[in-house]
Amino acid sequence: MTSDSSNRSAGERTCLTVILAAGEGKRMASDMPKVLHPVAGLPMVNHVLATCMEAGGNARAVVVGNQAERVSAAVQGFDPDATIHEQKVRAGTAHAVLAARDAIEQGFDDVVMLYGDVPLIRTETLQAARDQLATGQHIVVLGFETDDPHGYGRLLMDGDRLLAIREDKDATDEERAVTFCNSGIIAFSGEHVLSLLDAVENDNAQGEYYAPDTVEIGVARGLNVCAITVPEEDTLGVNDRVQLAQMEALWQRRRREAFLRNGVTMQVPESVVLHHDTVVERDVVIEPNVVFGADVTVASGAAIRAFSHLEGAHVSKNAIVGPYARLRPGTVLEEGAKIGNFVETKAARVGAGAKINHLSYFGDTEIGAKANIGAGSITCNYDGFGKHKTIVGEGAFIGTNTSLVAPVSVGKNANTAAGSVIYKDVPNDDLAIERGEQVNKTGRAVTLRAKNKATKEAQSKD
């Protein structure tokens, strides 16, 4: 690659993103590295990687430190093309970026510094920074306006030109009145980035090398240095569990709004919990208090009723789930299928128009189209050592409280009588009955009541 970008348009420029993920995150009070804490089920650092990939950058370098092997495994499991660079001694952000020197030296038009604990960064925000580099800027700092700037570094401007970044503790009273604040995210011209970072010194109270110092270095060298305004929430980082919960809430709000704008109905949006990979098509209706786990797709026209939990499931067009249903991994509902209240499925394919309406468990199962499963029916799919399959044919009717002992099949249009334990295959169109003969003992209920009453009275005296 080349750093000669003088004649390159924004779309032609090459880009390396350096993601800093070396910190210890002590305030998380956790044995897990901070950047691996999930938002919507995805580690924060992988949210950042996903945005970088979507933004069209050419390469991603992740700087690790704390529990380096664990973070590296999570990163490369998600993005095998990302390169890993270890910062053995944590000595500031400029020092961290330079841990990826070998990646930077490959030569890119743009080098963008991001953080592994800032998961809400958006592609539009990254592109806005790179657009400035394409117009001839050499350093672009992402800033935000806030009503409460306390604790943030201030961006000191001269018109459109950024002069310096002043830390809150070092600012004068006049500078503290500035509400344009530093996000910490910086985009550099690849031609100058190493020279700027190498020039950063550690003559500060912490004895560390800080990337924001490149601003004053660049100004002193006559480089073009600017700051752009981006939404504050794009740049929010996570330092503790409180902020992690806030980040989750912000992510959920964004994704729910995106679904609503794309034609999904949510009756009480704030009660719905989404996963980072949830796919919901237009004209789906989602009632309150629904939770989506990993790997769920819901096709157009389906309805997910209240208090349902879905994970690893596909819901086809016009299917109905719930209320109070649980779809576990491997569940496929074909068009128009219905899963009712207090029904659990796992590794189950439910055919078009088939119904499991009440109080049932069906695992390791294939259910044919338009079959009807009576209330309280279950598959006995586990024998203590392995799982076994149950097949219910098209149009079959499974009577209330039927236990299907796998491996077993019930044929097309066959029936099982209520209360049966079915452990042999049932041919097409047959009725299977397996239960003891009913016997009525005349007057026995009176005798039992008297006996039970006497026992209770004796126990109460004791």
Catalytic residues, by residue number, are 358
Is residue 36 within 8 Å of 74, Cβ to Cβ?
yes
In the block, which residue shows the tokens 């796992």?
Answer: 346
What gap in Å lies between CA 343 and CA 310, rounded to an integer?
A: 12
> Residue type for 281, please?
E
Q: Could you give phi then psi for residue 398, rounded to 5 degrees?
A: -100, 115
The tally of CA atoms less than 13 A away on the side-chain side of residue 417 is 8
H or E element that contains 358: strand 355-358
Q: Select from 315, 320, 331 the least CA-distant residue to 357.
A: 320
Buried b (16+ CB within 10 A) or exposed e, 184-198: bbbbbbbbbbbebbe
DSSP 257-322: HHHHHTT-EESSGGG-B--TT-EE-TT-EE-SS-EE-SS-EE-TT-EE-TT-EE-SEEE-TT-EE-
Q: Select from 357, 402, 359, 345 the least CA-distant residue to 410.
A: 402
Cα torsion angle, 51, 53, 57, 59, sign: positive
Which of 310-317's residues contact partners 24+ apart within 8 Å by CB, and which partners?
313/345, 316/352
The CA-atom distances, in angstroms, between 438 and each of 21, 400, 435, 441 are 70, 17, 9, 10
**Residue 32 corresponds to which tokens in the numbers above?**
């897990």
